[in-house]
Chain A
């Protein structure tokens, strides 16, 4: 106890003359820090309404609501988050998880309103004072992610391993890889509407994460009876709208689908899908063509108890999937796996039977309760430039067909392919393989009207074709084929300036001063295919309605003007496998409805 203890506390008095430290005008003098977590901002143009913010919100403060001016479209639900500030705790997890990066927080923390309902609003849609604030919480960068941004790389054969043969290029995911890739899914479901078949994508991806292949297979078969095939060659429109793709790489949805189908033995299918002992309802349906649309319709009709008979013009089923797509992309045993399961449901198939030749459509009409036609596009179109009547000018589709059938085809040393779509790539790569086998080297050029960035073929197809030493030289318009002494010398082309005119019609313009010549002794045309509906005889035709380009008009159930005739697949929509499947599925329900009410 010292006198010091009495006196020293009084030293605090010297602070009495200090300036006060209080902030005089806190509303203006004290903006929130750069990272402050204040009221939300949302760039509504960038936001796609995927709902990840709602999903992660631990307080259920976020609702997804329709906002005027934002329509539902592919890749955008048209919904936008509405925040209830009575529940928000300003943790900013919604910002950190945002798939597009549109959602941020402002540094504004003072706002007074009398009506409590005003504290529930759609950020970005109501012109709040802080919408333009630069400062506020943003997702930290870089390497701060709530889910993987990079795809799990798919292993494939190297160009050297694959360019001599037709063995499958893509190896498929291992369990570990598939689960890692499936983990990246945010389960928003934006992809479902874009998939023509509306597949339950998030749910089957979830099944992969949970390693429940049986459930996964069930989900696949709900909307798609050809998962092995689709898992390999689907045009995967879903991946183009994947919300994860906005900041990173979209999920490999196609490969994940394939993974599920690959895991299940075909012997297990019936047990898993519960399709043993379907009761027959005594009604019959004929299906023309065993392509994706026909098979899909056959599958769903069989499940509903219809007795289905497919008429197939070739010796094997699958249509374009078998006769158009090369084996290195879609091995025949995988096609068989899917098809055999469908046939095992009691579907009868008559091979080598062409409608209009072996049996008429009218006969089918009389014999069956309904008919579904999914006859596809099997007629190759020609450029009709001078010289195309030469015997060594081929149609890609005919060559692909022959390769499938194992028939010998003419393979020249130097080949030019006209066309830039997936079929053009298929034939280019198939011929490159055959050239390799025959000559030990590749000399094939594919050319197209479209410029490099507008090529209709999938990017990976072009890349892989180049890896296999094919030359892809786009942007040229074919003029004529030079023929000397009855032998093809090559193809003359002009630089293509534009393909469509102002009205959007096909009307290519060429640069006469920019010419090129591709040497070749064989030319393949692959500029698209047309339909062959000669089997529809005049009397039936008179009942139908035709739209632009001679397409048959059908209603939403794919029912044509002749009520008993349903039409789907490439001749209606597409062309691709997944539209065919979706058409077949819907047509099956349409037929069921039609026959029930008949």
Chain B
């Protein structure tokens, strides 16, 4: 690997192994005694869900990494092929625990687009709100979670508390804390409860305070900086090569955001700038996520101010018990807190989907990219790097 400039903790390849064979391939011979296999996971507390890394190490350096998934496979895509369209709606949420709402939205949007249904304005606003709340609760776990990988657990506890307050709001609005099952094909399942705005503002104020505290705790912390700046570097040229999206791409200077580039719901009526950083290391990615957190708070405030007070929440749909969606296919995407999250949906004109395929950001991040990034990394940095990609294993294997 080439030496990187201006990144002060970077150390080039430290070990002399593995040597290169004549044909250019690495000579990793496990019987040589120079290498050790180290399994990390599948039960790792740093990520939401189970995934394991098969590391080949030499000294404290990783020379080869392989991602193993399959601990969470429930075959949701297949299960949805055997269910009515409406029945897919409680199924799809489980494809990503961290932010189930994107699944709901994308399924609903696909069904609506393929059957030509327009949803009421009020429902669009409520969907936008729920998707931003989902991002908020996800980031409240991820931003301090990065420090958590370096044993700085205080921020994680603050974050988890605040996340629970957001979940309280979800509970009020949707009736569920984690799986909200709120965005239904055709609309949403309820208006804002009385006094919701006030309670939302109270929580947002606490999160404002949290952002200040986390600034002091993490981002102005010598240990955190030492362990993250220059570590887990993603070359800008890798962005398209590996299919990197979301904050991971934005931290490398790519101002790509589905909300801005392909506006959906009410995002073109909201005022926001796509966040970005240049350094493309763990610290930069953390910074991007912190900025996103601030932006999300702002977006929620904007949504609450702009949202109409009343309105229909659901468009009339055919009887859900025998709703047939016309033959066709589509791809719809949204920006989850991890990046482009999309559903490729095929209908054959019957009561059940022909195929629903989820394009989750972790699919590319945690496998091909992570396997590449871990080469030459110090084993102590492995989980930091993994968490900095904000991996969500359930969306890899669905």
Contact = CB atoms under 8 A, between A and B. Distances in A.
B70 interface: no
Interface stretch (A33-41, A268-276, A371-379, A476-484): A33-41
A151 to B, nearest CB: 14
B314 A145 contact: yes
A143 B312 contact: yes
Interface residues of A, number: 44
A146 B83 CA distance: 16
Interface string B194-225: 00000000000000000001001110111101
Contacts, number: 117
B87 A140 contact: no
A445 to B, nearest CB: 44
A183 B314 contact: no
Nearest to B176: A37
B87 A56 contact: yes
Contacts of A286: none
Interface stretch (B50-58, B245-253, B315-323): B315-323
A52 B321 CA distance: 9
Interface stretch (B166-174, B255-263, B300-308): B166-174
A91 B220 contact: no
Interface in A34-70: 34-37, 52, 55-56, 58-59
A144 B179 CA distance: 21
Interface string A405-420: 0000000000000000
B154 interface: yes
A56 B86 CA distance: 8
A12 B218 CA distance: 10
Interface stretch (B41-49, B185-193, B287-295, B327-335): B185-193
Nearest to A37: B175
Contact of B83 (A58, A89, A145, A183): A58
Residue of A4, A55, A143 with most partner-chain B CB within 10 A: A143
A147 B173 CA distance: 24
B171 A146 contact: no
Q: Determine the main DSSP class of A at the interface with B.
A: loop
A148 B213 CA distance: 52
Interface in B211-247: 213, 216-218, 220-223, 225
Interface string A461-490: 000000000000000000000000000000
A35 B193 contact: yes
B91 interface: yes
Contacts of B86: 56, 93, 146
Contacts of A143: 312-314
Interface in A197-246: 206, 209
A33 B89 contact: no
A5 B222 contact: yes
Interface string B77-107: 0000001101111110000000000000000
B313 A184 contact: no
Contacts of A91: 89-90, 179, 181
Contact of A8 (B83, B84, B181, B216): B216
A387 B116 CA distance: 69
A50 to B, nearest CB: 11
Nearest to A35: B175
A9 B312 contact: no
Given A5-B221, A11-B216, A93-B87, A33 B172 contact: yes
B321 A5 contact: no
Given A147-B321, A185-B319, A9 B220 contact: yes
A56 B88 CA distance: 11
A56 B320 contact: yes
B10 interface: no
B161 interface: yes
A33 B175 CA distance: 7
Contacts of A52: 321
A446 interface: no
A369 B117 CA distance: 63
B149 to A, nearest CB: 16
Residue of B83, B175, B213 with most partner-chain A CB within 10 A: B175
B91 A34 contact: no
A380 interface: no
A190 to B, nearest CB: 14
A183 B175 contact: no
Interface in A80-101: 89-93, 96-97
Contacts of B217: 8-9, 11-12
A146 B319 contact: yes
Nearest to B189: A140
Nearest to B182: A35
8 contacts: A5-B220, A21-B161, A34-B193, A37-B175, A37-B181, A89-B179, A97-B321, A140-B313
Interface of A: 1, 4-6, 8-9, 11-12, 15, 21, 32-37, 52, 55-56, 58-59, 89-93, 96-97, 105, 137, 140, 143-148, 183-187, 206, 209
Given A12-B154, A15-B213, A143-B313, 18 more contacts: A1-B225, A5-B222, A8-B216, A9-B220, A11-B213, A32-B171, A34-B172, A37-B176, A37-B181, A58-B84, A105-B175, A140-B314, A144-B314, A145-B314, A146-B319, A147-B320, A148-B316, A186-B319
The 4 closest A-B pairs by CB, nearest first: A58-B87, A91-B90, A147-B319, A35-B175
